[in-house]
Structures are given as C-alpha cells and as structure tokens.
Amino acid sequence: MIKESDLLTDSFGRKHNYLRISLTERCNLRCSYCMPLEGVELTPSENLMNAVEVFELAQLFVAEGVDKIRLTGGEPTVRKDFPEILTKLSQLPIEISLTTNAVAIDHFIPLLKKTRVQNINVSLDTLDANRFQKITFRNYFDRVYKNIFLLIESGFQVKINAVLMKGVNDDELIDFIEFTKKQPVSFRFIEFMPFDGNQWKREKTVSYEDIINRLGQVYKKEQLIRLKDRPNDTTKNFKIKGYKGTFGIISTVTNPFCDQCNRLRLTANGHLKNCLFSNKEQDLLTALRNKEDLTHRIKIAVSGKKAIRAGMASPERFEDEKQHKGNRSMITIGG
C-alpha cells in the first residue's frame, strides 16, 4: 500500500503523485522547439543517473505517495539500458507510461507488454513527410507513422502530441482531428511554449481560443462534444460525434491549469524541478551519491512551488522572454 505523505504536498495543498523522469538528454530527432538549432552542451555521462540510481530515486518517491511515473527524454529508448530501467521500475506498485518519438519503438513492444506499460504518448507535429523532415531535421516519418499503427494494433492506449506553431503546422489542425475519425487515439494540441534557445514568440502560439474558433468553421456545434476531464488532467478534451478517437488542447500559455498540478520532474542528471518553467532545481543525484538524506531537498523543492507557472502568473510576465533565459532548453528538462 502506498502511503500518503505531506512531503509531496506543497503550500497550496497540491498533492504530487505523478513523477516524470527524463532518462537522457539525447534524441534521434532535432525539433527546434525542443532543442536549440545550435544544439546543447550535453551533461557528461558520469553525471547522469544510472539505472540503479533511477530506481532508487523512483522508489523513494513511490514510498512518499507517487503512483504514476512517466519516462521521457530526449528520447528514452536511445539509452542502452532502457530495458533494464523499465524492468526495474515495473517492480514498483505504479502506473508506468512513456513519451517517445516512436522512431524505434517497434523494437520494444515485447518489453513494454512485459513491464505493464499501457499508455504511450507519441510526439508527432505533422502528417506530411516533407514537413516532418523540416521540423525534425531527420527523414523518419514513414517509420514513425508505421509504428503508430503498430502501437494501436498492439493494444496500447496511444496519445499523439503535436506542438502547434503558426506558419509551421497550424494548417494541419483539421487533418489531425480527422485522423481520429477511424483511429482510437487522442490527438493533443500543445501550445508552443518558451524555453531557452527555442526562438519562442507569442505570435507563434496557436491558442486554445484559436483552435476552438477554427473548429467552429468546420464542424457543427452539435458535432463537437466536450468530454469530462479526469482529475489533474492538463488537457481539455473533446471528440467529434461518431469518431473513434478524441482530441485535446493543452493550453499552458493562454489558459494555464496550475491549480490542479500534481507533477514533479526529475531531470536526467538527477535534479528535481517543481515546475516546467522554474529555473530552481534541487540536486538529488549528488545527495544520493553522498548518502545524504534527500527528504530536506525534496521538501524545499515541493514547498517552493509557486501557484502559477513558477511565479509568472500574468500573461505579460510569462511572455517576457527574459523570464525564461535562466531555465533549461526543453530537451534537457524532459518532455
């Protein structure tokens, strides 16, 4: 039985039972909204969590009430010890999920089945092969597209994450939704968010309001069904009447959902972040290697969590690019 602990409850009464663990800063794609065009300075391998340390830290959080862990990256499957990590974590009484670009996910289907992984989020920002290459700087579209269908056929619950950007892929919005007509997937539209080096501009963001307005031009009011969101859900969920799949909008920029946040993030180098946008971190890995008590560091991180987006509550403050310079690029945080 997982106990409930005050350690993971912040000063606003939010209980954190969901831990996202980044396994690597490396990726086999180079999407510019995630990785700066000039690349990033990678953390030396000896300063990253090894498989045993990932498990030890996860075990600690599970003992304090975490019951859901999502593995992210970079691309988590590029780690040679990915199977070892996943196998170890499957011993814990938790729900394990995965975020991947699906380039090589076909090699891991038996492992995912064996380790009880059911929910897989696939990052895919276009349904066009030429555009895929422009966005990712890699020619893997056919492989990814084929693997999405393989995941569906293998019985996984598949969500497809698309970062919508004006002038880049926003013209595919309806194509994305039409994909859910025959496929039992959830297509999720993520507002383009600011991180170090990703050339973010507010005018590039396709907002929740933009999306709803476009839907109204294509679908009749009675066709658009608003679904009931689960507790702590970051997504506002919808479906088109009669379609097999669903879609959702993650409106971090224009309509944040921080009051229900139950997430903490552990970076590949073992730093605990209480918010995606916070530049304050607690180094758990060094403390673990020094055999220090980690409780104090975790408490500092959790109790220091701000009410909204690391203190950037107003649109003006959040849209000030200077506020994001001290934070990491997305690829070194974890998706």
When pLDDT is cut at 50, 70 and 90, the band that residue 119 belongs to is very high
Average pLDDT score over residue span 155-183: 96
Q: Which domain holds residue 58?
A: 6-333
The pLDDT score that the predictor gives to residue 1 is 37
Answer whether residue 4 shows pLDDT above 60.
no
Asked, for residue 217, whether it belongs to a domain, the answer is yes
Q: pTM of the entire structure?
A: 0.93
Task: For the chain, list the strands marked E by DSSP.
Answer: 18-22, 68-72, 95-100, 119-123, 157-164, 186-191, 224-226, 236-240, 246-250, 263-266, 271-273, 281-283
Asked, for residue 60, whether it belongs to a domain, the answer is yes
Structure tokens at 149: 């269908």
Per-range mean pLDDT, top range of 94-108, 270-284, 313-327: 94-108
Asked, for residue 52, whether it belongs to a domain, the answer is yes
On average, the pLDDT of the chain sits at 91
The pLDDT score that the predictor gives to residue 5 is 66
Answer whether residue 61 shows pLDDT above 50.
yes
Tens digit of each residue's pLDDT (9 = 90 or more) over 247-257: 999 988 887 77
Report whether 101 contacts 28 (CB < 8 A): yes
When pLDDT is cut at 50, 70 and 90, the band that residue 126 belongs to is very high
The pLDDT score that the predictor gives to residue 200 is 62
Asked, for residue 277, whether it belongs to a domain, the answer is yes
Helix (H, G, I), strand (E, B) or coil at 48: coil
When pLDDT is cut at 50, 70 and 90, the band that residue 23 belongs to is very high
Answer whether residue 303 shows pLDDT above 50.
yes
When pLDDT is cut at 50, 70 and 90, the band that residue 2 belongs to is very low
Asked, for residue 1, whether it belongs to a domain, the answer is no
Average pLDDT score over residue span 304-330: 79
Asked, for residue 163, whether it belongs to a domain, the answer is yes
Tens digit of each residue's pLDDT (9 = 90 or more) over 30-48: 887 777 666 778 889 999 9
Asked, for residue 238, whether it belongs to a domain, the answer is yes
Number of domains in the chain: 1
Asked, for residue 142, whether it belongs to a domain, the answer is yes
Q: How far is CA 83 from CA 18, 157, 226, in A?
A: 21, 20, 38
DSSP secondary structure string for all residues of 255-271: S--GGG--EEEE-TTSE
CATH code at position 293: 3.20.20.70
The pLDDT score that the predictor gives to residue 83 is 98
- What DSSP state is assigned to residue 104? S
Structure tokens at 68: 């859901």
